[in-house]
Structure 1
Amino acid sequence: MHQYYKYTGFYSFVWKSIKKAIIPILLFVGALFALDRFVLDIEETLVMVTETYSPIVILSIFFASESLLGLIPPELFIAWAGKSASPILYLSFLAVASYVGGIVSYYIGRGITKIPSVHEAMELKLAQHIKNTRKWGGFLIIVGALLPIPFSITSIAAGIINFPFSSYLMFGLLRFVRFYLYALVIFEMV
C-alpha cells in the first residue's frame, strides 16, 4: 500500500494540502486565544448565548453553516453544548446536524456539476486535481470528517467528483467520532 501511494503521488498531494491548511488553522486558533484574552470572555459569552437563544435556533444556525460552507467553526457549537443543560444530548444533535448538513453539501456538489460552465472548467482546468481527488476520495473524506477542515467543503468536493454515495455516508460517520473527541477536550476547557 505504501509503495502504491508513493508511486501515485498520494503523499505529495496530501503534503501540499496539509501545508495549505496549517496556516489558516494556526491563525484561527491564535485569533480565538487573542479574542478570549483581550476582547471578550468566550466562556461568559457562551453562557449568555445558552441562556438567551433556544437550542432550536442555535442548532438551525449550525445546520445551515454545515450545509453551505462550514464558515462557523463547530468547536464554538461544541463549547455551547458543554454549557447547555444536557451537554451529551446537544452534542449528539450537533453531530447529527453536521452529518446531515454534509449530505446536503454532497448534493450541492452534485448539482454544481450540472452547470455547463462549471462542468467545462472542471474538465479542462482541474482535470489532474479531480483525477487525484477521485483516486483518493475516501481518504479526503476521512480527513474532512476528523480534522478542523470545513466538512461541507469536503462534502461538496465529494459530490463534484461523483464519489459513491454509500461510501461517502460510511466515511462521513467519522464526523461523530470527531465531535465526541473534540468535546472531551473542549468541555474541559470551558
Structure 2
Amino acid sequence: MKLSKRMQFLVKNGLKGMAWLLLILAAYFLFKEVVLSRTPDAWVDQIYARPLLVYLVYCFSEFFFGIFPPELFMIWAINKDTIPHYFMNLTFFAVVSYTMGYLTFLIGRYFNTHASLKYFKKNMLKEVWPQLKKYGLFLIIVAALTPVPWSAVCLLVGSAGYPSKRFLKYALFRLLRFAIYGYIIYQTHVF
C-alpha cells in the first residue's frame, strides 16, 4: 500500500522521535545505574530540597526549545511524594507545556509579520517554507507526541502563519503525550 507524502512524513519523523525517546530512556537508566545507585542520597537531597527551582527550570526548558525532556521532571515527580501529588505535577507539566507551546507559537506569529523575517524567509528559506505550510499539521502532531523540540516547532509553525485555532486543536496531542508517558513512568516506578 502506497502512503501519501504527508503520511510518509508523519511516519518517518514519528520513528525518529521514538528513536530519540529510546536514546533518552537508555541514558536515564544508565545514569540511574552508574551514578544514582552509588550516591543516591546526595543527588536526591539536592534536587528534592528545592521544588520551586525544579518548576522554574521546567518552565524555562519548555519555553526555550525543550532543553530538558519533560520525562525527567515526571520521574522527579513520581519519586517526590504521593501518587496524587504525582498526578497533580503531571497535570501541571502538561498545562505548562501546552501553554508555553502556544506562547512560542504567538511569538512566531509576531515574527511572521516582522519585516526582517519576511526578508529572511524570502531569501534563505524559500524552499523550506512551502513544505512547512504543507506539513504543519503533521509537524505539530509529531512534535507533540515525540521528543522533537516542542517549542521550536511551535515557533516555526507560528512563523509560517499557521492558523491559531487549528494549532490549538492539534496541539492537544501534547496533553495525550503527557498522559501516555506519565502512565508509563507510573507503571515503571510504582511497586
What TM-score do the two structures reach when normalised by structure 2? 0.80
Measured at CA, do residues 49 and 146 of structure 1 come closer, stay the same or move farther in structure 2, by a change above 3 Å?
A: farther
Deviates more, 1:106-115 or 1:132-141: 106-115
8 Å contact from structure 1 (residues 141, 155) kept in 2: yes
**Which residue identity does 1:76 align to in structure 2?**
L
Q: Report the alpha carbon displacement of residue 14 of structure 1 after superposing the two structures with TM.
A: 4.3
Unmatched segments (≥5 aa) in structure 1: none
Who is 1:161 aligned against? 160
Distance 1:124 1:116 in 2: 13
Distance 2:17 2:174 in 1: 19
Among residues 39, 42, 47, which one is paired with 2:35 in the alignment? 39
Which structure's relative contact order is higher, taking Cα pairs within 8 Å and 6+ residues apart? 2
Q: Report the alpha carbon displacement of residue 143 of structure 1 after superposing the two structures with TM.
A: 1.3
Measured at CA, do residues 37 and 83 of structure 1 come closer, stay the same or move farther in structure 2, by a change above 3 Å?
A: closer
8 Å contact from structure 1 (residues 47, 83) kept in 2: no
8 Å contact from structure 1 (residues 105, 155) kept in 2: yes
1:72 paired with 2:68, answer: yes
> How many correspondences in the alignment?
185
Q: Report the alpha carbon displacement of residue 31 of structure 1 after superposing the two structures with TM.
A: 2.5
Who is 1:63 aligned against? 59
1:51 paired with 2:48, answer: yes
8 Å contact from structure 2 (residues 17, 142) kept in 1: no
Unmatched segments (≥5 aa) in structure 2: none
The 5-angstrom pairing of residues 99-138 of structure 1 reads 99-114=98-113, 116-138=115-137
Deviates more, 1:124-133 or 1:33-42: 33-42
Q: Report the alpha carbon displacement of residue 159 of structure 1 after superposing the two structures with TM.
A: 1.0
Q: Report the alpha carbon displacement of residue 33 of structure 1 after superposing the two structures with TM.
A: 2.8
Distance 1:157 1:142 in 2: 14
**Which residue identity does 1:63 align to in structure 2?**
C
Q: Report the alpha carbon displacement of residue 30 of structure 1 after superposing the two structures with TM.
A: 3.2
Q: Percent identity?
A: 29
Secondary structure at the residue paired with 1:69? coil
**Which residue identity does 2:57 align to in structure 1?**
I
Q: Report the alpha carbon displacement of residue 151 of structure 1 after superposing the two structures with TM.
A: 1.0
Q: Report the alpha carbon displacement of residue 183 of structure 1 after superposing the two structures with TM.
A: 1.0
Distance 1:48 1:188 in 2: 24
Measured at CA, do residues 81 and 154 of structure 1 come closer, stay the same or move farther in structure 2, by a change above 3 Å?
A: same
